[in-house]
Amino acid sequence: MYQIENTIDIDKSFILKEDEATYHSRCSGELLHSRERYRLIDLFCGAGGMSLGFSEVFGQPFQSVWANDYNQFCGDTYNENFGPHCVVGDIVEILDQGKIEIPKADVVIGGPPCQGFSLLNKNRENDPRKELWRPYLEVVERSGASIFIMENVPQLLGTFEHGEIVGAARSLGFRVWQEKLIAADYGVPQTRTRAFIIGCKFADPAVLFPPRKTHFNPNGNGKPLTLPFNKVEYLSTPPKWKTVRDAIADLPAPEGTEIRNVPPPLDLHFGRTPTELSRKRYRAIPREGMNRFDLQRIAPELTPKCWIRKKSGGTDLFGRLWWDKPSVTIRTEFFKPEKGRYLHPKQHRPITHREAARFQSFPDSFKFLGSKIEVAKQIGNAVPPLLAARVADVVRLLLDQKYGKWTSSQEQNEVKLCRG
């Protein structure tokens, strides 16, 4: 059984107390034999959730050599955790000016800003952010990468732009595949769904992608709804989806209203100062799973008139999380319960930054820099590192195959373990 070498001094009590064992059970003893680390570029990197999943922290043989984001706070956070090689600025200008040489890399990862495709964007028809996949592929070409991973909202797949991305990648010599992945299927305590497009120059990525699920969605009897698992890998049944209880039950009540200079996890475990009206609304819907419709039924006098007029949709608005289900998708304003199901299952308050970071599967010791608003954006926009780690399994196997680092029997075994 191998040992994960931490480049960040993480507390594995939450992230890896079960997933490490699950991951070990899927992997052969030779999985992380001595070898060179693969070079990685992360574009539109944000805080670096995707890079973290591809790093040694999650047992992966990748090393980030260059990164880019437009936001200075994201760049500061990335450089604090991965080393000073994130260049802050507009990627289009960086490429046009030609003052910065793009280093050579084995793989390029990243998520061009997704608001252009998001259903939340009412002006998405003419949104220029839909075009940022073009400089992304230019970096892929300049770096000489033989694999790329592009992450985005699920609404991207099937669009005209999706077709353009595939066509452009094929013109560069890539074979392309795509899937929608649910983070909870890979041990993240959150039902976040994201689209992943994978391109590979030397093999058909559809043979290995999507990565094999590690956790299952239980029905009322606790049985798997689907069985994309090899029964030999598990003594009984594979583990269930991680839940809100798994992620945050050990945390005390939050203190203060600002980021605190105390050790994690309490540094980001702070609250807000809601109005008395907001407090009354929280108390009016005390049971987990309740939402704005319950508030209107129980206390119409406390319900905003705009919610009363809106008869349908938005069932997650002003909703409480469930203890024994995964969190809903964490967005950038998770601290505002009027934006989604972001009320604590029991306490009369919204979730904290630390709780949101755990729902995203960030280890407690990952360092976020910036104001509390900027940190919230970094958390909400991130690719869950644990999901990224399972995508990295596929990339690692493809590159190992390319460089002849497996015997034939090892390769066959790894293919079975990585893909159902």
What amino acid positions are annotated as catalytic residues? Answer: 114
Beta strands in 213-271 (DSSP E): none
Residue with tokens 């909870």: 184
Give, in degrees to the nearest 5, the angle at Cα 325 between 6 and 291: 125
CB neighbours (10 Å) of residue 49? 27
Residue 326 in tokens: 């995964």
Cα–Cα distance, 219 to 406 (Å, whole number) = 39
Helix locations, 41-159, DSSP H = 49-53, 72-82, 91-97, 133-143
136 contacts 130 by C-beta, under 8 angstroms: no
Contact 21, 356 (CB under 8 A): no
Q: What is the DSSP string of 173-223?
A: T-EEEEEEEEGGGGT-SB--EEEEEEEESSS-GGGT-SPPP-SB-B-TTS-
Q: Are 286 and 319 in contact (CB under 8 A)?
A: no
